[in-house]
Amino acid sequence: MKRKSSSAVMSKLIYLVPALVVILIFFMWPIIMTIYYSFTNLALTGTAAANLEFVGLDNYKKLLDDPAVINSIIMTLIFTVGSVAGQSLLGFIIAYLMKHKNKTFRRIVGPIILAGWVMPEIVCAVCAYSFFNDKGTLNAILSLVGISKIPWLFKYPMFAVILANIWHGTAFSMMVYQSALDNVSEEVQESAKLDGISSLQNIFYIILPIIKETIMTNTMLITLMTLGGFGMIYVMTGGGPGTATQTLPVLMYIRAFKNYQLGYGTAISMILLVLSVLFSIFYTRVAGKGMEEGS
């Protein structure tokens, strides 16, 4: 019986081999090579381009002496926290407001909101640049009400980039929260209303506790997506003015492809990997504590 059961298990595992091979080739192998290259002098030009050498921790020692790295970490955290908070909050508000509307309204408004998400990031970035530019749409609107032109991309570049990223990614959170809100029992909400609670109390004491696991999952997903955000920032500001919006992906691109230091740029990417792991661990632990309290 044991031989039959083990053979049955092995026969089922065979079907997983193609998937495992794909994961190893297209996921694990690039990660391994990225880690390896971060310990080399890999470059696009010069003698290092012809003679790849293992330099040990030299790239990482260089990171500690590079003031742009610390600034980029701070800018990355500001960009990520601002974008995630805005997308999650706005996505929930839109989903909540649409829940009580008829199907016709949802069919019209839904695609309009989704347009910013389904468009390629480069297209959204160009649209956002046109909106926040000195001669763009936003300043044109402000001039109609008597407000003088504001150089958004020069005076408030991070604010403009975060708003653009919120617009681009809010639809994802909206869809996640729509699905979660549709599964919230109407009977529970009706009974709460009979007890005399307000709509705001209904959100904080009924809805949010019920969908807290969805909130945590959505927050983790958009955090990991935002950490690696590059196109929106690079098109709108190029990381400037100065280093005001120079996040880690932008700095990595500059060091690797403008300064031709691929090994050093790859070492910078390892910081992003570490930040992603730290955020994942944090969200997993918070979610785990929430499930323990709920049980």
Looking at residue 107, its pLDDT comes to 78
Q: What is the mean pLDDT of residues 105-112?
A: 78
54: which strand partners?
40
Looking at residue 295, its pLDDT comes to 54
Q: What is the mean pLDDT of residues 280-291?
A: 77
Q: What is the mean pLDDT of residues 137-156?
A: 91
Q: What is the mean pLDDT of residues 16-25?
A: 82
Q: What is the mean pLDDT of residues 265-272?
A: 92
Structural domain includes residue 275: yes
Looking at residue 293, its pLDDT comes to 61
Structural domain includes residue 201: yes
Structural domain includes residue 17: no
pLDDT tens by residue, 67-104: 999 999 999 999 999 999 999 999 999 999 888 777 77
Number of domains in the chain: 1
Q: What is the mean pLDDT of residues 58-63?
A: 92
Look at residue 9 and tell me whether its pLDDT is greater than 70.
no
Structural domain includes residue 47: no
Give start and end residues of each alpha helix (H) in the chain. 2-14, 17-23, 29-37, 47-50, 58-65, 67-99, 103-118, 121-132, 137-144, 152-155, 157-182, 186-194, 199-202, 208-210, 212-227, 231-236, 248-253, 262-294
Residue numbers of the domain that contains 150 = 66-293
Structural domain includes residue 51: no
Structural domain includes residue 254: yes
pLDDT tens by residue, 181-224: 888 877 777 777 777 788 788 888 888 888 998 999 999 999 99
Q: Are 176 and 87 in contact (CB under 8 A)?
A: no
Looking at residue 1, its pLDDT comes to 46
Q: What is the mean pLDDT of residues 280-290?
A: 79
* Closest by Cα among 68, 122, 75 to 259: 68
Q: What is the mean pLDDT of residues 145-169?
A: 93
Looking at residue 8, its pLDDT comes to 63
Looking at residue 10, its pLDDT comes to 65
CATH number of the domain enclosing 274: 1.10.3720.10
Look up residue 236 and give its two tokens.
């709108």
Look at residue 165 and tell me whether its pLDDT is greater than 70.
yes
Looking at residue 141, its pLDDT comes to 92
Structural domain includes residue 280: yes
Q: Are 162 and 79 in contact (CB under 8 A)?
A: yes
Structural domain includes residue 213: yes
Q: Are 238 and 162 in contact (CB under 8 A)?
A: no
Q: Which amino acid is at 284?
A: T
Looking at residue 235, its pLDDT comes to 94
